[in-house]
Amino acid sequence: MLTVNDIMQELNRFAPPDLAESWDNVGLMVGNIHQRVTTVFVCLDVTQENVRQAIASGADLMISHHPLLFSPVSRIVEQDITGKILRDLIKNEISVFSAHTNLDHADGGMNDALADRLDLTDVRRFDDADARTPLGKPLDNIGRIGSLNAPMEMEDFVELVRHALSCQSIRYTGDPGDAVKTVALCSGSGGDGIYTAWNAGADVYVTSDIKHHEAQLASELGLKLIDAGHFETENIICSFMTEFLESAFPELNVIVSDAQPYFHQ
């Protein structure tokens, strides 16, 4: 009999919880480690709609990238969104496990999967010398840097990213005709990685949730940016986790969320 704990242990071996950022909350959010699991529902976010889909599919366990709970909950009531989600999960005996920044950091995890989607070669982590401000302040080193097989114009690389990630909305900086070859990336919100990408010698940095002053900084440094969308750069969790689970537990029935990005162009 396969249990929540069996799946947790396998995921924790691949993406150890101690890789998570200090502000993060990863692991089992709701449920019982001894619960039997035959069906897993995989998603980016634990939303009301994803919970409805999980219930309809008979899921015993939901695995998400974004944690359901970041802050302490003071009440669980039907009139509150998080409260309703928690009540529905508990009533339907669905456990929830979240692998977030630990999966971003892990070898072969989210950022390596993103680099693979963009067909990068010679992919590596950022090192300590990369992850620093000009005054030497250390920065988080979530992300990867690699190379395209051959240089291409910026507008062509933007289209490659759009197609690879099924982007509904995409923004970029720089001249469309600029040549790019070295690509840095960070799935999700990576605006604080601009100096890291620049220090590492990137021509372009692919991430999401870029703010005005972050775009200004990158422009001053001569680093091109592609804001490919938070959802789009991280919803690869669905295909990635499906392959992982089906390989580790062939007997599992894995269902994938059909959620779509919130933003459209």
Packing angle between helix 4-14 and helix 237-248, nearest 10 degrees? 110
Distance CA 87, CA 76 (A): 7
Nearest to 172 by CA among 191, 190, 158: 158
pLDDT at position 140, please? Answer: 87
Block mean pLDDT (10 aa), the chain, length 265: 97 97 95 97 98 98 96 90 96 98 97 98 97 93 96 98 95 96 98 97 98 98 98 97 97 97 85
Class level of CATH domain 107-233: alpha beta
**Distance separating alpha carbons of residues 44 and 46, to the nearest angstrom:** 7
> What residues does each domain of the chain span?
4-104, 107-233
Query: What tokens appear for 175 in the block?
Result: 């001249």
Amino acid at 79: Q
CA 233 to chain centre: 6
Q: What is the pTM of this model?
A: 0.95
CA angle 26, 31, 35 (to 5 degrees): 120
Assess if CATH 3.30.200.20 describes domain 4-104: no
Instruction: Write down the pLDDT at residue 72.
Output: 85
Pull the structure tokens for residue 77. 């009531």
> In this predicted structure, what is the pLDDT of residue 139?
93
User: What is the pLDDT at residue 127?
Assistant: 95
Angle 206-209-210 from CA coordinates, rounded to 5°: 70
Helix (H) or strand (E) holding 151: strand 144-153
Cβ neighbors of 6 (< 8 A, separation 6 or more) are 37, 249
* Residue-level pLDDT at 265: 72
